[in-house]
Chains A and B, each alone.
Chain A
Amino acid sequence: MAILVFVESAEGKIKKTSIEAVVYAARVGGDVTAISLGTEVNDTELAALGKYGASKVLNVADDRLNQGVIQAYANVLNQAMNKVGADLLVLANSSLGAPVSARVAIKQDASLVSNVTELPDISNGFVVKRSIYTGKAFANVELTKAKKILAIKKNAAEIRESGGDVPVEEFSPELTDADFGVAITGVDQATGDVLLPEAEIVVSGGRGLKGPENWGMIEDLAKELAAATGCSKPVSDIGWRPHHEHVGQTGVKVAPTLYLAVGISGAIQHLAGVNSSKYIVVINKDEDAPFFKAADYGIAGDAFEVIPKLTEALKAAR
């Protein structure tokens, strides 16, 4: 099987979720070509995708693609699928990958499944497991068309290294002005920080923290853990924290190995955004807070006392 993998980058580095997509494709089995768009990743970084199972990397070095223009990206991926004769396209289910994959699915007349959580079962047809009802359940779904596209969720494949560097080839698809009809006029993105959707550890605060001025202790704890910070919906609604930190049904769905919730009651809509976490720790002064039922570890106590102590204890245990 010929497989194309779309890889995304941030600040010149291939994103972890995209590396997972390469590993995923390699484990499906077949000839894996990775493709990167734009001029922000150098060839050394791209060649190193061989370590994760790519046999070749296509680089579309067009600086108009340094911004994620959905239609242009879809057009490039469509042409790349044709070029390598891909039966399968794999990509991360990201804010760019998802809308792009929907358009490619129509262009290729392909079956598309998003939020895929595991490797496919190809013993009888091509069946994948996907998360539905915002993480409350799964559906096993068969892709019935000849061509297939999978938008995979974080942790769908465990990163492993094997091979070495592979060749990077320039690819120059045809793009017209119409592909760039949507103008991206500005980008406002946190840099340097651990990004919430990709984070391995997340520290989230809720309304129990009383006000934005009390986030210092959350940030200190997050820093000690190299974690990203998140919050509940009311907290971003009132403007204590930026919107992109809002976790839950209507916000970011996180999938860290450790989720620490401080002063969050554990409403079902909040839980919908964290139910893919491996371990959940809840700190809440109310021992009957519903969040404890979804937790692995809990402390019933006042966050203003517990959090500074926890940060100290972590420092001491380093």
Chain B
Amino acid sequence: MKILVCITHVPDTTSKISFTDGDQKFDQTGVQFIIGPYDDYALARAVELKEQSGGSITVLNVGGPETEPTIRKALAIGADDAVRVNAEPTDSLFVAQQIAEHAKDAGYDLILMGRESIDFNGGMVHGMVGEILDLPSISPVMTLNVEGDTVKMAREIEGGKETVEVKMPLIAGCQEPIAEWKIPNMRGIMSARTKPLSVVEPVTEEVATSLTRYELPPAKGAVKMVDADNVSELVDLLKNEAKVL
């Protein structure tokens, strides 16, 4: 089986978010970058599928040269080769077109992505690539099993899940509990250094949106503590101060 996993290079989930250049740019000072947690689930499931039935895993990232350590980490976790589309991932349409261009004649059986990137939180790229390539796109996917040429999945819906069956090839936006995150081992890290990472230029510059300005939420006021022996005071505050009851 031939699998493509699309990964993002995003700030660690504990990062403090701030902006520079008159709120036009994300401030990278002191920020650690990681593989998007949902993309990490997709990659982990791809590695499991490969262990079960063989095949190959390619990882793809649309990003500048600074994303290469993140791509190498994906190679260390178990991908065989990698492609970096050398461009700022400016919007979902731009990214989707780069991924679609790479995948269109490559013969992937499965294209796995994360349910969403944790910087942009679009949740859009998989559906867009699906439409461009005329392939089914399923998201958010909680379990994914291959039986012959059919893939059985559970898709999360509000308050539960639905089970879905579809023939390959297809695109899935993954989330937990599809697989457990994998930590690269020493051998993986060593071999990742020499695995092929090719760099290609974007096929189009087309975008559908443009940033005007970033903004931070207003700061939260101080917490009002209520004595544990006086819970009725909390009820009173919720009723008469917050007016939420």
Contact = CB atoms under 8 A, between A and B. Distances in A.
A114 B208 contact: no
Given A282-B223, A297-B224, A181 B136 contact: yes
Given A184-B162, A190-B159, A301 B228 contact: yes
A299 B228 contact: yes
B127 interface: yes
B223 A298 contact: yes
A175 interface: no
B78 interface: no
Given A139-B215, A185-B164, A300-B228, A70 B136 contact: yes
Given A142-B210, A143-B208, A310-B234, A101 B127 contact: yes
A102 B171 CA distance: 13
A313 B229 CA distance: 12
Given A102-B124, A103-B131, A141-B212, A244 B223 contact: no
A237 to B, nearest CB: 8
A99 B118 contact: no
B234 to A, nearest CB: 6
Interface string B67-93: 000000000000000000000000011
A298 B13 contact: no
A317 interface: yes
A51 interface: no
Q: Which one of B14, B156, B235 has the greatest number of beta carbons of chain A within 10 Å?
A: B235
Contacts of A310: 231, 234-235
A10 B157 CA distance: 12
Interface in B121-151: 121-128, 130-132, 136-140, 142
Contacts of B157: 68, 95-96, 187, 189
Contacts of B223: 282, 292-293, 295-298
Contacts of A139: 211, 213-215
Interface stretch (B52-60, B190-198, B237-245): B237-245
Contacts of A96: 157
B173 interface: yes
Contacts of A305: 228
A297 B242 CA distance: 10
A210 interface: no
B120 A132 contact: yes
A102 B226 contact: no
Contact size class for B?
35 or more
A134 B118 contact: yes
B24 to A, nearest CB: 10
B61 interface: no
B130 A103 contact: yes
Interface stretch (A159-167, A196-204, A211-219): A196-204
Contacts of B124: 98, 101-102, 105, 112, 114
A296 B159 CA distance: 27
A249 interface: yes
A297 B208 contact: no
Interface in B179-222: 207-217, 220-221
Contact of A138 (B159, B214, B245): B214
A182 B164 contact: yes
Contacts of A99: 123, 126-127, 137-139, 173
Contacts of A143: 208-209
What 8 A-B pairs are tightest by C-beta distance, nearest first?
A102-B127, A301-B228, A189-B160, A106-B131, A111-B208, A103-B131, A140-B212, A186-B163
Interface of A: 10, 67-68, 70-71, 74, 93-96, 98-103, 105-107, 110-115, 127, 129, 131-145, 181-190, 193, 195-198, 201, 225, 237, 243-244, 249-250, 257-258, 268-269, 272, 275, 278-279, 281-282, 292-302, 305-306, 309-310, 313-314, 316-317
6 contacts: A99-B127, A102-B126, A105-B131, A137-B216, A142-B211, A244-B156
